[in-house]
Amino acid sequence: MLSHLALMIFCLCLVNQVSSQQVSSQTPKLGIDYWLNGYKQVTAGEKYELAQKVFKKTISVADNPADEVYALYIFADLRLTQVFALPDGAIILPLKAIDLCLQDRQAAETRLAFLLGHEIKHLIRRDYWILDQITQFLANAKQQGLEPDLARLMESVKWDFQNKLRKLAETEADKSGILYASLAGYDAGAIFDFIPEYYRAAGIDVHGDVTNNSVNDRIRALQERLGDAIEHLHLFDFGVQLYAIGQYDAAIECLAKFVTQYPSREVFNNLGLCHYQKALSLYAKWKPEDIETNPNFAFKLSAQIDPLSRLRGIPSRGTGDNYEKQVEEVLNRCIEHLEKAKDLDPDYEVSYNNLGCAHLLKGDVDFAKGYLKKAVALNQSYQEAYNNLGVCYAAEGLAEAAKNSFLQASRIAPNYADPIFNLGQLYRVAGRDQEAREQFRRYLELDKWSKPANRARGYLGMPLSPTKLPVSNEAIAGRFPRDLRRLDGNARRAFRSSEAEMWIDLNESQSVRCFYYQSQSDLRIAIIAAGEKYRGQTQNQIKIGDPAQLVEQRYLYPRHIVPATRGEFWVFEALGLVFEMREGKVHGWFLFDLM
């Protein structure tokens, strides 16, 4: 005789024979018309607008099929517990559920996003009407003369199967609900307190019953889902650090592994930026004669890595004859990732800024301007986007419009160096030598050591940046990157992809993280990172929270700066040392070694 588990699997495989449309036609309650005709729909008001706004934001990050349209319907006369999804794509939300969410005004949108994300997952999985399909299937099976013993057994376990299936569906919907809420930009931590509050308000036993999981079971499932993402979060952080030191392929491996657990706007933005930088390098190899005249190189563009979730050279693949094709392929991947970041959050201005940079490199200046104008429409204080828009105008030969954009960027952030450099370059190309020299002198007051600073010095006829002998014995918590060597097999976390293996070791008490990367081509990269709670200091007595000016005084060796959405990275490549700066202070630093 079949076991209960085998029978459940058997039923689950067979219920798909009955379409949801058939069930919907036989069960009026599974169609939205039933609810519209029998209950009082809410179609306006502050609570309605709030719920629809959260629904729109949550649905934008869900993994629902592109050809299916979902809609939210709110009713004033339904019980609190009557939050559910219908086969026709409708989600039913009682006004009482919105009121419960609003009892905590600060967390109200997060709570709504979780409730709606939960139901969206039911729609994607086609969960609830499967229970009606089981009943329909059993009735059809009896009519068709199913073997009597098997029919009796199926009938005896039907209710047990339905309840187990319901609980399983609820668990999976919870996991997706918290993921969707988090991806939409809401604070997932606020959901844990909401679940017991919802049970109490709805009169549901917190210990669960035949058809409901307990509060502890649901919270445990949510923690498990977030734990899977947090387990991979270090890959995101190291991906950003690899980007900062120019190791774009390794960064892509880390970020691609992370995106399988947490497909957020930030990770798609950063994947796009890695491909953008690869395309820049390939373009420079393809057309080295364009470096002085192509606006992507002659001016300073501000593409931004996003360090919150909350890279040396690019290996050549083939001969110079293939660079044109490689640039096209890599740029297309860049734009694909940035478009995903934009689609996940249409108000994420960073994605529009970076799409503008990518399309400018591709030669689509009109597209580039369109994205950059959208970025400044979303954030009128977005100095990087104004700077990049100025580069677009310069590429079109519109010197006056370019100047105005650069000046606007400088008005927003007077100490932002890029538009000052670009004004100097604009004046130099126009033959306005005195004005160009004035801008380059201003630029050198803000940036004395980078490669663009050396370009400015060259234009001014000044000697190159002063240097200081490198300190070769930098360590963090007594450890050197060159000594990691796969962390000697003691790594707490190991990750593998088709191209590389990665190991991570954490010392949370000291706020230190170690990372070791080994590719199939035997490229090895070691990183030791000091987090924001690290109490030690560098060899030149720099510690967390020290001002940027102190770093400049004690590390004069030439550096280059990598812009980020929050601050920037100061990369001292010859020292294998990178400082992360936020708000003019040291937020953290890391050491790296390429082996």
Per-residue pLDDT tens for 327-368? 888 888 899 999 988 887 888 899 999 999 988 888 888 989
Per-residue pLDDT tens for 111-124? 999 999 999 988 88
| Coil, helix or strand at residue 437 | helix
Q: Which position has the higher pLDDT, 504 or 163?
A: 504
Token pair listed for 323: 């660079």
Nearest to 113, CA basis, from 80, 83, 89, 78: 83
Residues in the chain: 595
Q: What is the pLDDT of residue 353?
A: 93
Q: Per-residue pLDDT averaged across 36-50, rounded?
A: 94
Nearest to 584, CA basis, from 448, 445, 416: 416
Whole-structure pTM value: 0.67
586 pLDDT band, cuts 50/70/90, is very high
Q: What is the pLDDT of residue 65?
A: 67
Q: Per-residue pLDDT averaged across 464-475, rounded?
A: 65
Nearest to 303, CA basis, from 371, 377, 252: 371
Q: Per-residue pLDDT averaged across 509-528, rounded?
A: 87
Query: Could you give the maximum distance between any two Cα atoms of the chain, in Å?
Result: 98
471 pLDDT band, cuts 50/70/90, is low
C-alpha dihedral, 535 to 541 to 545 to 547, nearest 10°: 180
Q: Per-residue pLDDT averaged across 133-162, rounded?
A: 56
Rounded distance, CA 244 to CA 246, Å?
Answer: 6
Per-residue pLDDT tens for 230-263? 667 788 889 888 999 889 999 999 888 888 777 7
Structural element, H or E, at residue 116:
helix 108-125
Q: Alpha carbon of 358 to those of 277, 334, 371: distances in Å? A: 9, 7, 10
Instruction: Report how far Cα 6 is from the mean position of its chain's Cα atoms.
Output: 40
78 pLDDT band, cuts 50/70/90, is very high
Q: What is the mean pLDDT of the chain?
A: 80
389 pLDDT more than 80: yes
Q: Which position has the higher pLDDT, 166 or 170?
A: 170
Q: What is the pLDDT of residue 193?
A: 84
Q: Is residue 145 left, alpha or beta, with left meaning phi > 0 and alpha meaning psi from -120 to 50? A: left
Listed in sequence order, the residues at least 6 apart from 382 whose beta carbon sits closer than 8 Å to its beta carbon are 349, 353, 375, 376, 412
Q: Which position has the higher pLDDT, 588 or 183?
A: 588
Q: Which position has the higher pLDDT, 563 or 316?
A: 563
**Domains contained in the chain, CATH given:** 4-213 (no CATH), 263-460 (1.25.40.10), 481-594 (no CATH)
